[in-house]
Amino acid sequence: MLINSIRTAILDLPLKRPHKMSLFTLEKVNVVLVIVNTDNGHEGLGEAIALGGPTWSEESGESIKSTIDKYLAPYLIGENPSQFEKLRAKMELAVRGNYFAKTALEMAWFDVVGKQRGIPVYDLLGGLAQDRIAMSWSLASNDPEEELKEAETFRQKGGFIFKMKVGSLAPKADAARVKYIRESLPEISLRVDANQGWDRATALRTAKQLDEYQLDFIEQPVPRWDIDGMAAVAKAINTPVMADESLCTPHDAMQLVKKKAASVFGIKLTKAGGFLNCKRQVAIAEAAGIKCYLGCMVETGLGTSAYLHFAVSTPAVMLGCELFGPLLLADDIVKEPTQYHDGYILSNSRPGLGVTLDEARVSKYIHGKMDTIK
């Protein structure tokens, strides 16, 4: 089985409601769709989501597609998609960084190989270790009353974990929001995510204020480059600190461990470059006694399925996940609905990633045209 063509397109999908983060307010997501076709008639699907263009990371939908079309896809035509490590190494030599682009391609290889062999992707990643993952829902409207109403709605669907986005308001306003939710719902599992929204001094001051609200963790309180600042926050408070934007490569994982900057790792396929590099990050976390949480970039049902296959094959993902993309997006591009039940997201055992494209919806949301590299 050899790759004989790679197709790419950009889609714009709207959200059901604005998603307010410290860096920007998200109202739609840029989806880069990748379709890998093989000489024996199989098709593999992958995607990468860019939040806020090149705001969350250096990559945007346009740069992801361009990198794949011009610099990666031409070197992958004629290759065997089942040679995962060979292709990963080939991409690393061809292009520096650009992990979102690499993830979309790697996702499609795993999908096509799973389909060709008639097995789910989690069997290519080590096998099923857990069949469901606890779900976290992000409260991100900055309106305490609206956030409480949203939390109560999701609590009726099961034991959801809740994570509050902070950093876009003044620290006192954010602390008041957290206090309000904690006092209104004292029994819930609650976390906060600053998305790099504080400088070191603000992070130290605000994190100490939040210490009293029994949070599971405080996520990325300082800019991603300030590992020393994150270590200072971690040392100053009782609440665990989670690294997200500071954790993109296995080298980042090593630095976080050495600096004692985080006791939780936030894993995301796209920022790491795919399944294989995420497994490397998790191995470092396990060696250091660090627990893992699975984040998201507000993926469609396609990307959500890929993240889920990684999670259910990885025992270290024990603090839940936020694979809520299909719940927050106003529409989807796959036919099979993501399965949620009693506060969990459920694995699927269909071959590959277990999803197929809804061509009508793809056509509805496509931005520009689909390009083919042969």
pLDDT of residue 157: 84
Supply the pLDDT for residue 105.
98
Q: Are strands 3-20 and 25-38 parallel, antiparallel or unpaired?
A: antiparallel
The pLDDT tens digits for 220-272 are 999 999 999 999 999 999 999 999 999 999 999 999 999 999 999 999 999 99
Average pLDDT value for the chain: 95
Whether pLDDT at 374 is above 90: yes
- Closest CA relative to residue 250, chosen from 230, 264, 265, 263: 265
Catalytic residue among 165, 268, 271, 279: 165
Whole-angstrom distance, CA of residue 365 vs CA of residue 72: 25
Give the tokens for residue 178.
Answer: 């957290």
Q: Where are the beta strands (DSSP E) in 39-189?
A: 43-50, 132-134, 136-139, 161-165
Crossing angle of helices 144-155 and 171-184, in 10° steps, is: 40
| The overall pTM is greater than 0.85 | yes
| 89-111 per-position pLDDT tens digit | 999 999 999 999 999 999 999 99
Question: Is the pLDDT confidence value at 159 over 90?
Answer: no
Q: Distance between CA 338 and CA 323 in Å, rounded?
A: 10
pLDDT of amino acid 19: 82
121: number of CA atoms within 13 Å, CB side?
Answer: 32
Q: Where are the domains of the chain?
A: 3-118+355-369, 123-346
Domains 3-118+355-369 and 123-346 in one fold:
no
Give 31's strand partners: 11, 49
Instruction: Look at the chain and count its residues.
Output: 374
Fold of 123-346: TIM Barrel (3.20.20)
**Which residues, other chains included, contact 220 with Cβ-Cβ below 8 Å and sequence gap of 6+?**
193, 194, 195, 196, 230, 242, 243, 244, 245, 246, 266
Cα(231)–Cα(287) distance, rounded to whole angstroms?
Answer: 19
Instruction: Answer for the pair 347, 323: CB distance below 8 angstroms, yes or no.
Output: no
Q: Which of 47, 59, 299, 322 is catalytic?
A: 322
48-60 confidence digits (pLDDT tens): 998 877 877 888 9
CATH for 3-118+355-369? 3.30.390.10
Structure confidence at residue 367 as a pLDDT band (50, 70, 90)? confident
Q: What is the pLDDT of residue 52?
A: 74
Q: Give mean pLDDT, residues 277-305.
A: 97
More confident of the two residues 374 and 53: 374
How far apart are alpha carbons 111 and 122 in whole angstroms?
10
Share in percent of the chain as helix, strand, coil (round to 5): 40, 25, 35
| Residue written as token pair 């593999």 | 44
Q: What local confidence, expressed as pLDDT, does residue 42 receive?
A: 97
pLDDT tens across 58-85, in order? Answer: 889 999 999 999 999 999 999 999 999 9
Residue 179, pLDDT above cutoff 90:
yes
According to the model, what pLDDT value does residue 213 have?
Answer: 96
CA atoms of 28 and 51, how far apart (whole Å): 8
The single residue listed with the structure tokens 């990468």 is: 48
Decide if 322 is catalytic: yes
Confidence tier at 18 by pLDDT (50, 70, 90): confident
Quick one: pLDDT at residue 58?
84
Predicted local distance difference test score (pLDDT) of residue 25: 82
